[in-house]
Amino acid sequence: MSGLRSSVVAAAAGVNLQTLRYYERRGLLAEPDRSLGGHRMYPAETVTVLRVIKAAQRLGFTLEEIADLLETGRHRHGRGADAGLQSRAQAKLAEVEAKISDLQIIAGTLRAAVDAGCDDLVTCAAQPCCPIPFATIAVGAPDADPR
């Protein structure tokens, strides 16, 4: 029987054994064959699949999204597999760009708080010149139940 043992696959892909087993349970990896001694024996391409999974995670895809992408690719047998990735990558890009926009607003507000010398959260919030929009955030917010 040919194949790579779990420890070899994990080391080559830069993951630990628990991650390898977890991806198996989640269906991201096919259940491997077993040697006569009961050891998991993975095909060599498992290393590539693991690297693809980790790269997709770094790009912001969730494991559920990655599983769907992998499944879509398997069913298309290599034909048009980019169409699934293409549309999902565009959606993820829009999501990331929205987060970047939100983070730029947050960074600007924090910069203004630093420049204004805000030192006490409650005191600053009570001042009309406070750069952090506490009053705007609080308007229309329901009072918390004091219980």
Give the chain's mean pLDDT: 85
pTM given for the model: 0.70
Predicted confidence at residue 119, as pLDDT, reads 82
DSSP string covering 51-71: HHHHHHHHTT--HHHHHHHHH
Predicted confidence at residue 62, as pLDDT, reads 95
Per cent of the chain over pLDDT 70 is: 84
- pLDDT per position as a tens digit, 64-90: 999 999 988 777 655 554 558 888 999
Measured in degrees and rounded to the nearest 5, phi and psi for residue 41 equal -125, 105
And the tokens for 147? 């219980």
What burial class does residue 117 get, using C-beta atoms within 10 Å of its C-beta: 0-12 exposed, 13-18 middle, 19+ buried? exposed
And the tokens for 137? 């955030």
Q: Within a 10 A sphere around the Cβ of 103, how many other Cβ atoms? A: 10
Instruction: Over range 51-64, report the average pLDDT.
Output: 95
